[in-house]
């Protein structure tokens, strides 16, 4: 017997969280881009053609954390109280860590994960031709 598959017309919806209390929420996501040594040196020197990689990736993370419900259809718009992206340039990689906080009915893990992913994608887009 084939596994059950609900087609597009049979989709569920957002989970009803209206009965849940608002409580403090916190999530941290981290990811890495392994890069060539000359790319790391260019990031540190600020000589990447597209601009300042670390600041651009931070801004992208901030923007992404606030826009998760626009990109992921089953997520709730969440009133975020803080988003803190941290970028660290190591010898062979760029490490991105994003902390997101809110006081709400549901968690902020999707906001942290999405913000981290968008920061990494932004950094990669900026350095991929270097």
Q: Which residues are catalytic?
A: 125
Distance CA 85, CA 54 (A): 10
Distance CA 39, CA 83 (A): 27
Strands (E), the chain: 23-34, 80-89, 93-104
């Amino acid at each position: 017997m084939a596994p059950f598959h609900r087609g597009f017309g049979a989709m569920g919806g957002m989970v009803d969280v209206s009965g849940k209390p608002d409580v403090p929420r916190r999530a941290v996501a981290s990811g890495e881009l392994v890069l060539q040594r000359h790319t790391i040196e260019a990031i540190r020197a600020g000589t990447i053609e597209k601009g300042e990689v670390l600041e651009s990736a931070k801004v992208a993370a901030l923007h992404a954390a606030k826009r998760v419900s626009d990109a992921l259809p089953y997520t709730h718009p969440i009133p975020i109280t803080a988003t803190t992206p941290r970028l660290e340039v190591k010898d062979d990689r760029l490490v991105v860590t994003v902390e997101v906080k809110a006081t709400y009915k549901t968690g902020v893990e999707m906001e942290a994960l999405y913000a981290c992913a968008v920061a990494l994608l932004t950094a990669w887009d900026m350095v991929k031709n270097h």
